[in-house]
Structure 1
Amino acid sequence: MTPLYYAISAVLLGWHKVFGALFGPDSGAAWAFSIIGLTVVIRAALIPLFVKQINSSRNMQLLQPKVKELQKKYGHDRERLTQETMALYKETGTNPFSSCLPLIIQMPIFLALFRLLNSAANNDKPKGFLTQADVESLRNATIFGNVHIADSFTSTDQVAVKIFAGILVLAMTATTFLTQRQLMSKNMPADALSGPYAQQQKMLLYVLPLVFAVGGIAFPIGVLLYWTTSNLWTMGQQFYVIRNNPAPNTEAFYAKQKRDAEKARKHGKVVETEVVVEETPEPPAPPRQQPKRQSRSQRKGSQGNPRPNPNQDQNQNDQGDDQ
């Protein structure tokens, strides 16, 4: 964790010099905005991974029909099913673990910031580039009156701290839930909402916010600021990507087509639409007529009077012509 301590403290102190000049070096606003600035720097550095995460999630969604076919074909053989599924992912260049990369990479940063703030709250030895004066300034910094940035919901009995920490925990939980729900409701095709990947996403939709809500009461105020800001960044970034580059056959995709068509009409352009030519169905064959039922006397009469032979009539006509 030592390299992370130096990296995070360097960015934090850099922003602190900027906001300290505006609000005062020992003010809580300077340290709070410095934590938000740290969040912006980290999330900006993770943009390539976020794009990779979006593309991986999209590929996973589009491959669900093929995955379902493999499940029907190799459902009785779990080992063969796993091999064929991984071969499909490899063939299409899809990594099912890419969707977890931003979260996995953020966790050590999250833990390092947690320890920096926790050591400041306990007046421990400074970490990274922080000096003892920085630790004391961070420990004594307050916002909204007497809410210390280094305090948590469980570390103090002050009502103001508990209320503010509770609000941030709820905000962190709500933004986590809404971010995941935004991805599922706007950028997932209908046939991908019933596969195993969709079931996994639905489980994470409710499990992750619950985990953060339970663990959030032990996070310092500064860490809650970091995580809530990070979630808001994710929501905005995800909204931009889904709006401008949605997955095919999704709600966001159809909404983008509608916006593009309206924009084209405003500029006087002809909107090309796909014309579906309906084939004229062939007329149904006439019903087969059933022969009329005859009485027994009629059947006997038809048997006694055989049908005339057209060849015989023709021969007789030919003989009359010769004569």
Structure 2
Amino acid sequence: MLDFINYPVSGIMWVWHKVFGTLFGAASGISWALSIMFLVFTLRAILFKPFVKYVRSMKQMQEFAPQMQKLREKYGNDRQRLAAEMQKLQSEHGFNPLGGCLPMLVQIPVFFGLTNVLQGFKAGAEQNFFFGAEDVKSYLAAKLLGANFSSSLTATAETLAHYGTDRNVQIFVTIPIMIVASALTHLTSRHSVARQNPAAANQQTAIMNKLALYVFPLGVLVAGLFLPMGMLLYWVSNNLWTLMQQYVVYHRIDREEEQKKQDAISKRQNLAPKPGQKPARKRPAADTTATSSGEDPTKAENDKPADKPAANGSAPKDDSARPKPGTVPGIIDDRSRGKKQNRKRR
């Protein structure tokens, strides 16, 4: 049913096993362990861009959470109107809540595909998708520090003996892997919770955060008792990649937002007047009229007509020849004339 997933997953794992098999040997447990881990890394690298989109979508959803909460309070009794307003808000900001869930949804069939491939390594199997009979025998015989990839902690003594291992060795190797997988699950959840917007917090969010921080890591520990060691390596690899990927993507988004803030501040500073500089004044309406027609204001001033001559042809009178205010034309001040005569007599 899931052969369209099983064959690509087994094909990628087969390629990595051939690569590491040339370095450490085809039957080496290190080759099989690295092939499982790099299978996970390859699939997660393919989904890197959708993951970035998912992170941006979740961040955008947190920013719109207060507005959505107001819409719920306003149209809580009218579901049809509430759905319309929600859709309107999402379309205005180009937000698609389902588009960011693609990476999480794709990992589900990949997980089942890897489970089917690992469970396909059975004694007597002639083929396991891309793997042939020799590869199946190699996987069943491979051991990592004495522990078998197909054995679990709850396997019967007969099963452990069939794979050539015992329970003490399986516990010694498997339990540390379980603890690391659980710790990485907690760290990835903690990293995601720390990025949440406090304004978008509600009771439902608080419950989900507690589940992600404590219940899911505990679930990995419990599931580790029943899962084969190969699946535990998948959990460790997947959570390790997720933790590193979150660190890279979150810091990348933080740098982009910080750059946008700096650009906005620089733009405002460039538009604002410099210290000590007076703001530019608007020109009078007359000047704007002159400049709007494309003429030079100084030229318009120089082109004004000069004073016209008088009607009898005489030159225009000079303003300096006019009598001063308070004096009578043609009459000289007697006092000043008397002073001049006294000076001549002496």
Q: TM-score w.r.t. structure 1 length?
A: 0.70
Amino acid of the structure 2 residue aligned with 1:141: A
SS in structure 2 of the partner of residue 5 of structure 1: helix
Q: How far, CA to CA, are the matches of 1:237 and 1:224 in structure 2?
A: 20
Q: How far, CA to CA, are the matches of 1:179 and 1:52 in structure 2?
A: 18
Larger radius of gyration: 2
Q: What is the CA-CA distance between 1:148 and the residue it aligns to? A: 0.9
Which residue of structure 2 aligns with residue 215 of structure 1?
223
Amino acid of the structure 2 residue aligned with 1:179: T
Q: How far, CA to CA, are the matches of 1:272 and 1:179 in structure 2?
A: 36
Equivalences for 1:306-317 in 2 at 5 Å?
A: none
Q: How far, CA to CA, are the matches of 1:274 and 1:169 in structure 2?
A: 54
Conserved? CA contact 2:27–2:139, under 8 Å: yes
Post-superposition Cα deviations, 1:60-99, rounded to whole Å, max 9, x if no partner, equal 1100110121122123344543443344234323233345
Amino acid of the structure 2 residue aligned with 1:166: I
Does 2:27 correspond to 1:31?
A: no
Which residue of structure 1 aligns with residue 324 of structure 2?
none
Q: What is the CA-CA distance between 1:109 and the residue it aligns to? A: 1.6
Q: What is the CA-CA distance between 1:35 and the residue it aligns to? A: 1.0
In 2 relative to 1, CA 71–169 (structure 1 residues): closer, same or farther, beyond 3 Å?
same
Which residue of structure 1 aligns with residue 150 of structure 2?
150
Amino acid of the structure 1 residue aligned with 2:199: D
Amino acid of the structure 1 residue aligned with 2:223: G
Q: How far, CA to CA, are the matches of 1:91 and 1:22 in structure 2?
A: 55
Q: How far, CA to CA, are the matches of 2:51 and 2:234 in structure 1?
A: 18
Where structure 1 has 5 or more consecutive residues not aligned to the other structure, the ranges are 262-270, 276-323
Where structure 2 has 5 or more consecutive residues not aligned to the other structure, the ranges are 158-166, 270-346
Amino acid of the structure 2 residue aligned with 1:190: P
In 2 relative to 1, CA 38–45 (structure 1 residues): closer, same or farther, beyond 3 Å?
same
Which residue of structure 1 aligns with residue 196 of structure 2?
188
Post-superposition Cα deviations, 1:97-142, rounded to whole Å, max 9, x if no partner, equal 3454323211222222222222215554522111111001001100
Q: What is the CA-CA distance between 1:173 and the residue it aligns to? A: 2.2
Q: How far, CA to CA, are the matches of 1:219 and 1:21 in structure 2?
A: 29
Which residue of structure 2 aligns with residue 317 of structure 1?
none
In the alignment, which of 246, 250, 254 is matched to residue 254 of structure 2?
Answer: 246
In 2 relative to 1, CA 92–202 (structure 1 residues): closer, same or farther, beyond 3 Å?
farther
Conserved? CA contact 1:10–1:129, under 8 Å: yes
Does 2:7 correspond to 1:6?
A: yes
Q: Percent identity?
A: 34
Post-superposition Cα deviations, 1:239-263, rounded to whole Å, max 9, x if no partner, equal 1111221399xxxx7xx69xx99xx
In 2 relative to 1, CA 155–93 (structure 1 residues): closer, same or farther, beyond 3 Å?
farther
Q: What is the CA-CA distance between 1:201 and the residue it aligns to? A: 4.5
In 2 relative to 1, CA 244–48 (structure 1 residues): closer, same or farther, beyond 3 Å?
closer
Which residue of structure 2 aligns with residue 160 of structure 1?
169
Amino acid of the structure 1 residue aligned with 2:227: F
In the alignment, which of 217, 222, 234 is matched to residue 226 of structure 1?
Answer: 234
In 2 relative to 1, CA 13–115 (structure 1 residues): closer, same or farther, beyond 3 Å?
same
In 2 relative to 1, CA 214–51 (structure 1 residues): closer, same or farther, beyond 3 Å?
same
Q: What is the CA-CA distance between 1:212 and the residue it aligns to? A: 3.3
Conserved? CA contact 2:190–2:213, under 8 Å: yes
Post-superposition Cα deviations, 1:284-317, rounded to whole Å, max 9, x if no partner, equal xxxxxxxxxxxxxxxxxxxxxxxxxxxxxxxxxx
Which residue of structure 1 aligns with residue 320 of structure 2?
none
Which residue of structure 1 aligns with residue 41 of structure 2?
40
Which residue of structure 1 aligns with residue 305 of structure 2?
none
Moved more, 48-57 or 120-129: 120-129
In 2 relative to 1, CA 68–119 (structure 1 residues): closer, same or farther, beyond 3 Å?
same
Aligned residues: 256
In the alignment, which of 188, 197, 217 is matched to residue 179 of structure 1?
Answer: 188
Q: How far, CA to CA, are the matches of 1:57 and 1:50 in structure 2?
A: 10
Conserved? CA contact 1:54–1:99, under 8 Å: yes
Equivalences for 1:1-323 in 2 at 5 Å?
A: 1-144=2-145, 146-157=146-157, 158-185=167-194, 187-194=195-202, 196-197=204-205, 199-246=207-254
Q: How far, CA to CA, are the matches of 2:207 and 2:99 in structure 1?
A: 18
Post-superposition Cα deviations, 1:128-161, rounded to whole Å, max 9, x if no partner, equal 11111100100110011x2011222222551221
SS in structure 1 of the partner of residue 30 of structure 2: helix
Amino acid of the structure 2 residue aligned with 1:9: S
